[in-house]
Chain A
């Protein structure tokens, strides 16, 4: 396997808060990589740095060997990195299918948008296919604001997929969603992965992460603590410490140097 996406020694602080303190992360091509950690450990900040929403103070992000540190979000998306948000973000006042069409033009020049209609036949068909994939096709012409929370999650996944990105960053895909839908989302991710898509997933639902991911990285206080297979990570004392708050910083540092 080759490395598709890499964050190397990324730091970022907000005022006095060190949200990321030299965090590194590797995402292999074709993998489903999980990113877990206690609240405030910097997972979403790392997502934001990778996708260009937040600038890194130091460190480097690269995609397919190319340096993309601090590139703008639209440029990052055009390269083939799609993402969803923890707080689901859709365009509430346009229709579901129009939501899909916004994302369709990944590499189109902005001038082209002036002279062409909203969608071509093939774009529309493609959009409807993906809506059908997530089970929203029959709601295509409703305003997206009428969708339930779970449906919004699915729509957000669908409109990221419509642009055919190489890697998809999901920020808590199972958060606030009922069990049936969690399993359904898990199934979608698995089948997309089988078709060659790479995933990086932030999630608090441990069962979801452990069942789905090939590799899991645990973050703690802005650093990557442990990386490994789900079963390795699950039993790692450092991880238990981070989650249960068993030791303070010094203990963790000590344990890391020992083992």
Chain B
């Protein structure tokens, strides 16, 4: 079972790695870059919010800060447009983490709905600051040095760096899930006060998780800025980003390792495709609406959990010919 599972992961990685080799049309590889980027953000968001139950809707703060770090550092340090800029991607993550520490220290003092509202409030503070400050270029945004690559030669490096970030996010999330630290996050999700009474240092654990999850998002933001070459405050600090990342995790399976990957893959690729094909920026919203209706009605725990449940039931039936609705099938459904 264990070996089989890692074989599936390896296969998925190979498919993703071969994607730009097989598909050479820049139209599709661009969709691929955005999809992989969002998958890493959703995975990273889920690593804190999914495990701990602290639903944050301020993820775009870290995305925006990563993007501005890339833009400002490139411009101020006169970094020539090209591969050398990729070295600034981790810097975007580090800056995001540095910002996450004070934000988390304040926001994580409250729980549930209050926490959600506070993260949204923080987000708008950052968006307003980016629009109005001088060093961010205001509403006109910032332009980065032109990268002299053409067509697919432009997209391919970005795709592989995005994939690298995704692999990093998934490995980190898996390691956290297996660590004592991850167990503590799950305990906080189920009953924070009880966890505190069993010796879990909840404040430190929450802040560490929150900060760790901001790193990948900051890197994704930096890569985004470099890829587009031009950033505007309302697009890098985008409330839709906050919501989208959370919805991806909910769609795929909140708190599971695979869920945000599946959710991100489905949502982002279809959104990019629909927007680009029908040149109608809001068509995807209709599809999203329908999709979420279906998920909420028929699989409220997310696609991954539902599929696993069905698969478990079936394999149980095959195994001994009894009805699958046993506690064992239930147990499988709760584990990621």
List residues of A whose CB falls within 8 A of some B CB.
51, 53, 72-74, 76-78, 83, 85, 89-95, 98, 101-103, 105-108, 110, 112-119, 141-143, 145-146, 159-160, 163
Contact = CB atoms under 8 A, between A and B. Distances in A.
Interface in B306-336: 327, 330-331, 334-335
Interface in B163-178: 178
Nearest to A109: B201
B184 A113 contact: yes
Nearest to B193: A53
A53 B197 contact: yes
B274 interface: no
B197 A113 contact: no
Interface SS of chain B: helix
Interface string B176-196: 001111111011011101111
Contacts of B184: 102, 110, 113
A142 B334 CA distance: 9
A103 B331 contact: no
A110 B194 contact: no
Nearest to A142: B331
Interface in B84-142: none
B199 A143 contact: no
Contact of B330 (A102, A113, A143): A143
A218 to B, nearest CB: 26
Contact of A74 (B200, B327, B330, B331): B200
Contacts of B1: none
Contacts of B195: 91, 102
B183 A116 contact: no
Given A83-B197, A102-B195, 19 more contacts: A53-B193, A73-B197, A74-B197, A76-B197, A77-B198, A78-B199, A89-B193, A90-B194, A91-B195, A94-B183, A98-B186, A102-B198, A106-B199, A113-B180, A113-B205, A114-B181, A118-B178, A159-B198, A163-B199
Contacts of A53: 193, 197
A53 B193 CA distance: 8
Contacts of B187: 91, 94, 102
| Residue of B194, B330, B331 with most partner-chain A CB within 10 A | B194
Q: What 6 pairs between A and B have smallest CB-CB spacing?
A: A91-B190, A113-B180, A113-B181, A103-B198, A89-B194, A110-B201
A102 B183 contact: yes
B254 to A, nearest CB: 11
Interface residues of B, number: 30
B208 interface: yes
A113 B179 contact: yes
Contact of B186 (A94, A106, A114, A163): A94
B255 to A, nearest CB: 8
B127 to A, nearest CB: 32
B208 A110 contact: yes
A222 B160 CA distance: 67
Contacts of B201: 74, 110
Nearest to B196: A73
A98 B195 CA distance: 12
B197 A51 contact: yes
B208 A141 contact: no
A73 B200 CA distance: 9
B177 to A, nearest CB: 9
B221 to A, nearest CB: 24
A92 B190 contact: yes
13 contacts: A74-B196, A74-B197, A77-B199, A90-B194, A91-B190, A110-B181, A110-B201, A113-B179, A113-B180, A114-B179, A114-B208, A115-B179, A159-B198
Nearest to B53: A93
A204 B12 CA distance: 58
Given A53-B193, A91-B187, A142-B327, A118 B180 contact: yes
A119 B331 CA distance: 20
A76 to B, nearest CB: 8
Contacts of A93: 186, 189-190, 334
A86 B323 CA distance: 37
